[in-house]
Amino acid sequence: MAYNNTITENIMKYQYLMKFAAPLLIITLITVGGCKKFLDVGTPVTKISTETAYNDNLTATAVITGLYTQLSYEYINGTTLAGSSFYEELSADNLTLFDKGSNFNYTTFYENSLEPKYAANLGQSYWLTTYKLLYTINTSIDALKGNSALKPKVKNRLLGETLFMRAFCYFYLVNYYGDVPLILTGDYTLNSKIGRAPSSEVYKQIISDLKQAEELLDYSYAGLDVTQITNERLRPNLGAVNALLSRVYLYTKNYEAAEETASKLISQSAIYSIGNLDEVFVKNSQETIWALQPVTDGFNTLEGAIYLLPPDGPDATRPVYISTSLLSSFEPGDDRKIIWINEVTAQNGDSYFYPAKYKVPFLEADAFVRNTEYTIVFRLAEQYLIRSEARNEMGNTKGAMDDLNVLRSRSRATPNTQVPNPLPELSSLSQVQLRTVILKDRRVELFGEWAHRWFDLRRSGTMDDVMKIAATEKGGIWSPNKKFYPIPLDDILKNPALKQNSGF
């Protein structure tokens, strides 16, 4: 799939589709790839206008369900912000690319050599696909607010979900690009002329959307028609709202609010809990707060498909393995290294370590009934890490260590003669010492997931020092402007109000 159009051109297409065939478009997305379970709601027999779509409980729900289907479908094809589980790992220092000549996209991210003229034409483009997703979100929010045709329970649930999704999209946009256009309506004339809003303003909008969603959602997981409860953790709920909100508070250094919001989730012990390492990434695990269901035949999860190496080692289709620096970050006796990382030895005798959080790469066609894993977007362990960091920054080092020790306890290997005291509990660390430990513990807990390492390096102020070393090992050249990705050149040329990130 190529993305040669600008954001405004793509939004124009979306406006046309949403006006004349919104439900049909979304249901097509829902059924793409043959998904037959949670996301399959059936196809309406006629094309219906946007207004009619939001006058019916079923079609309105289908439109919002389509957001998750689109996210999941483009995720498995690496074309949307959900590719953060892979592309940002390439940009950071957690992965080594086996053959830099086999894929231009991979090499560009790996060597931190993105250029504006290529930014919209790579196999994935966060800028274009996320703003297209935001068009559907914004038109849905406009249609749902004040809507009296839908059942109140349906309207409130859908509105809460769409507000969350808008916040989710902007969180990733602002962390990919810095200042970004803050588009909140479906008005093309207005949107095509909007310049970049300061990151602080974007974060204020993210918090506002999440606080509104917080009032509309609860901790239950909605089923197919959003009025029934399910065990499938595939639609955002209050847990997902608070998970993102605590992260946003942490990133904006509102540590008191970050601690309070993370504590809300941690206290929901009847719903969420820290389990065994080998159970974390199974579908609907007790640690899952929100997940994406695969919707493409043959794939289980993108992480499994691209990270799990074949017996002969990395190749053109599975081209990465764990970097030496990540491997050396694990302390002796850390079971995360044993359970979440596997090793293969190629015929030439070289050994390769690879991420194995997800255990199943591919499925037979139409084998969704045997699906055992979903792509986890938010999970409980991050909340302990968020609360630990927030507590440390407020001077509560003991509380911060207590939270880290929860994760270290579940990751502690059985003592043996080589490692008699595996992964010992933390104690007697200063605030400065604990900052380093928290960053390292975030790395070994969250590697391979949703751009955490890339974002952590930037917000901790360690990116330049770390990436200078990593870039040399990768064969690239690091410069401070590469902390953010360039905006596609086509959009800069079409919209004079847009300004490029410095250094590009």
Q: Which of 482, 323, 377 is nearest to 80 (CA)?
A: 377
pLDDT tens across 87-119, in order?
Answer: 899 999 999 999 887 778 889 999 999 888 765
Collapsing DSSP states into helix, strand and coil, what is residue 380? Answer: helix
Q: Which tokens sit at 222? A: 């909605």
Collapsing DSSP states into helix, strand and coil, what is residue 362? Answer: strand
Strand pairing category for 351-355 and 320-322:
unpaired
Note down pLDDT in tens along the chain; length 504 residues.
333 344 334 333 333 333 333 333 343 333 333 333 443 333 333 334 566 789 999 999 999 998 898 888 765 445 444 466 888 999 999 999 998 877 788 899 999 998 887 655 554 478 888 888 898 899 999 999 989 999 999 999 999 999 999 999 999 999 999 999 999 988 777 777 899 999 999 999 999 999 999 999 999 999 988 999 999 999 999 999 999 999 999 999 999 999 999 999 999 999 999 999 999 999 999 999 999 987 777 778 888 888 999 999 999 888 999 999 999 999 999 999 999 999 999 888 899 999 999 998 877 655 445 678 999 999 999 999 999 999 999 999 999 999 999 999 999 999 999 999 999 999 999 999 999 999 999 999 999 999 999 999 999 999 999 999 999 999 999 999 999 999 988 888 888 899 999 998
Eight-state DSSP code of residue 412? B
Collapsing DSSP states into helix, strand and coil, what is residue 377? Answer: strand
Q: Is residue 65 part of a domain?
A: yes
Task: State whether the Cα torsion 154-158-161-163 is positive or negative.
Answer: negative
Q: What is the number of domains present in the chain?
A: 1
Q: Which tokens sit at 52? A: 């009619």
Eight-state DSSP code of residue 369? G
Q: Is residue 318 part of a domain?
A: no
Q: Is residue 319 part of a domain?
A: no
Q: What is the CATH number of the domain that holds 284?
A: 1.25.40.390
Q: Is residue 232 part of a domain?
A: yes
Q: Is residue 103 part of a domain?
A: yes
Range of the domain at 150: 7-295+375-494
Q: Where are the alpha helices (DSSP H) in 45-125?
A: 50-53, 57-76, 87-91, 104-110
Q: Can you spell out the DSSP letters for 297-335? A: TTBS-HHHHHHS--TT---SSS-EEE-HHHHTTSPTTBH
Collapsing DSSP states into helix, strand and coil, what is residue 237? Answer: coil
Q: Which tokens sit at 227? A: 């009025």
Q: Which tokens sit at 219? A: 């901790």
Angle, to 10 degrees, between the axis of helix 380-393 and the axis of helix 255-266? 150
Q: Is residue 241 part of a domain?
A: yes
Angle, to 10 degrees, between the axis of helix 463-474 and the axis of helix 452-459? 130
Q: Is residue 336 part of a domain?
A: no
Q: Is residue 177 part of a domain?
A: yes
In this structure, the number of other CB atoms found within 10 A of the CB of residue 164 comes to 28
